Amino acid sequence: MKLANGAEYIESLRRLSPKIYYKGKRIKDVTRHPATAPHVRSAAMTYALANKEKYKDLATAASHLTGRTISRFTHVHQNIGDLIGKIKLLRLLGQKTGTCFQRCVGLDGINAVYSVAYEIDQKHGTGYLERFKAWLIHIQDENRMVVGAMTDPKGDRSKSPADQPDPDQYVHVVERRKDGVVIRGAKLHMTGAVNSHDILVMPTTALDERSKNYAIVCAMPIDTPGVTLIFGRQAGDDRRDHRERIDVGKPRFGVVGGEAVIAFEDVFVPNERIFMNGETDHTGTLVYRFAAHHRANYGACKTGLMDVLTGAVSYLAQIQGTAQGSHIKDKVTEMIHLSETLYSSSIACSAEGNPTPSGAYLVDTMLANVCKQNVTRFHFEVARLATDIAGGFLATMPSEYDLKSEDVGHLVKKYFVGVSTIPVEDRIKIGRLIEALTGGTAMVESMHGAGSPQAQRIMIFREGKLGEKIRLAKKLAGIPQ
């Protein structure tokens, strides 16, 4: 792998020239800007672990295309072990960063496109998979970070892409040339976009023949002409802008994933980077497989965050002298129970995975949707228990400016003391960490990342095999089939 560690990854970003805006101004260096640098460091952890002997087996894999050692985040799953290895890696990274490390969407896109490109070729006689393999080998050998770009603005959601008053509400082809296509539109909520090397564009929904121009899968470097990124605001970002340390909660790493809008303004994509072009009959399968892979992830990465939150609130209880209370122990026990239950969902859908016709493995889609549905409940319940244990202190902490003030610092240290052997500064630091893990963007992402709760419920009902369950019941009741 060309980019072998976190430092090399960060340096590689400085050689790019993407068009990125934040709060109305252009960012020239995402590795140094206070709004984006924490997200760069989070993603860098995926490179750092691959370089450590202790974690190498989890963080790397052998490419089925070249046999070379590659990052697991660029690997096409070849067996159950690969699916489970990914889950274990994601929990570990969640524990190490306490946030989103941003490479999952690209990984899930790679796996979905690989299997679907094979099936398009089989049905239509196209050559998409060989193109995709050539691109993927480049991504693997260079160890490039890929942002999976799926979610469109959608405009009027009561209308299909072809019926939108503004056709740009979904990414679409506006011109076809002999050597490629020109696309226009946007993708929203793109995790890790500003610190990725490449974009993998995919349709966001199943499409009909009227929407052929929207059935486009393609890839391009992040600094391709016509690509503009707008970095989203996050809870507490002004604290980062002012270089505060204690009050941001996690001074080294980001709040969630550093989401951005990616706008495509007449972007040219050459043929060798096009992996679907009008084959609407395969768009539903692509979205379905991508969503299953991505929903399986949440029971792992979010469990890692919940591990950190459980540790943080347990330490705060020690500081406040309440750790031995039976009600505190009971709530912490419930936090651990919910975390492990959620993790077991990720392991289960991976262990029940099966190969697609291409040979690439896919998780059990029913269990993946159950996993993500549990995330929308369990993570919030763990956060509720954490804020219950922490108490009102969590909402009324003085700022680090007050803590360090010559005028009132002594009052903060006097009246925010807990157990006398632990500094007040530690109590405020751990309180801010809990605040960062339970508020704002972090919880919204748990609810709506990888699709809203209703999207999972639709899939759970669709895959519930109700007909089979009815037959089982009728047979036991002695009712003729």
User: What integer pLDDT is reported at residue 448 of this predicted model?
Assistant: 60
User: What integer pLDDT is reported at residue 110 of this predicted model?
Assistant: 98
Per-residue pLDDT tens for 355-370?
999 999 999 999 999 9
Sheet holding 216-221, edge to edge: 146-149, 198-201, 216-221, 274-277
Q: How far is Cα 402 from Cα 424, in angstroms, rounded to an integer?
A: 12
Q: Taking CA 150 as the corner, what is the angle to CA 281 and CA 354, rounded to the nearest 5 degrees?
A: 65
For the chain, give every domain's residue range.
285-472
Per-residue pLDDT tens for 131-146?
999 999 999 999 999 9
Within 8 A by CB and 6+ apart from 400, the residues are 244, 245, 246, 247, 428
Q: Find, among 45, 39, 19, 444, the residue nearest to 237 by Cα.
A: 39
Q: Tokens for 360?
A: 């690439």
Say which of 191, 356, 365, 438 is annotated catalytic.
Answer: 191
User: What integer pLDDT is reported at residue 453 of this predicted model?
Assistant: 73
Instruction: Mark whether 209 is an active-site residue.
Output: no
Question: In this structure, what are the phi and psi dihedrals at residue 264, rounded to the nearest 5 degrees?
Answer: -110, 110
Q: What percent of the chain has pLDDT over 90?
A: 81
Say which of 74, 75, 77, 104 is annotated catalytic.
Answer: 104
User: What integer pLDDT is reported at residue 449 of this predicted model?
Assistant: 63
Q: Find, among 152, 146, 236, the residue nearest to 195 by Cα.
A: 146
C-alpha dist (Å) from residue 96 to 129, 280, 372: 35, 41, 22
Least confident of 184-198, 341-355, 455-469: 455-469
User: What integer pLDDT is reported at residue 462 of this predicted model?
Assistant: 81
User: What integer pLDDT is reported at residue 450 of this predicted model?
Assistant: 64
Instruction: Mark whether 445 is an active-site residue.
Output: yes
Higher pLDDT, 478 or 183: 183
Instruction: Mark whether 11 is an active-site residue.
Output: no
pLDDT at 456 over 90: no
When the pLDDT of each residue in the chain is averaged and rounded to a whole number, the result is 92
CATH superfamily of 285-472: Butyryl-CoA Dehydrogenase, subunit A, domain 3 (1.20.140.10)
Question: In this structure, what are the phi and psi dihedrals at residue 102, rounded to the nearest 5 degrees?
Answer: 80, -5
Q: How far is Cα 259 from Cα 105, in angstroms, rounded to an integer?
A: 12
User: What integer pLDDT is reported at residue 396 of this predicted model?
Assistant: 87
User: What integer pLDDT is reported at residue 269 of this predicted model?
Assistant: 98
User: What integer pLDDT is reported at residue 245 of this predicted model?
Assistant: 79
Q: How far is Cα 87 from Cα 364, in angstroms, rounded to an integer?
A: 14
For the residues 243-252, what does the mean pLDDT come to?
Answer: 78
Instruction: Mark whether 365 is an active-site residue.
Output: no
Say which of 47, 170, 298, 361 is annotated catalytic.
Answer: 298
Say which of 99, 151, 189, 259 is annotated catalytic.
Answer: 259
Instruction: Mark whether 191 is an active-site residue.
Output: yes
Q: What is the DSSP string of 393-422?
A: HHHHPPPHHHHT-TTTHHHHHHHT--STTS
Per-residue pLDDT tens for 165-206?
999 999 999 999 999 999 999 999 999 999 999 999 999 999
Say which of 301, 343, 361, 441 is annotated catalytic.
Answer: 301
Per-residue pLDDT tens for 415-446?
999 999 999 999 999 999 999 898 766 655 66
Three-state DSSP class for 260?
strand
Is residue 303 within 8 Å of residue 94, measured between CB atoms? yes
Per-residue pLDDT tens for 12-39?
999 999 999 999 999 999 999 999 999 9
Say which of 75, 189, 294, 379 is annotated catalytic.
Answer: 294
Three-state DSSP class for 245?
coil
Instruction: Mark whether 104 is an active-site residue.
Output: yes
For the residues 55-84, what does the mean pLDDT come to?
Answer: 97
User: What integer pLDDT is reported at residue 441 of this predicted model?
Assistant: 62
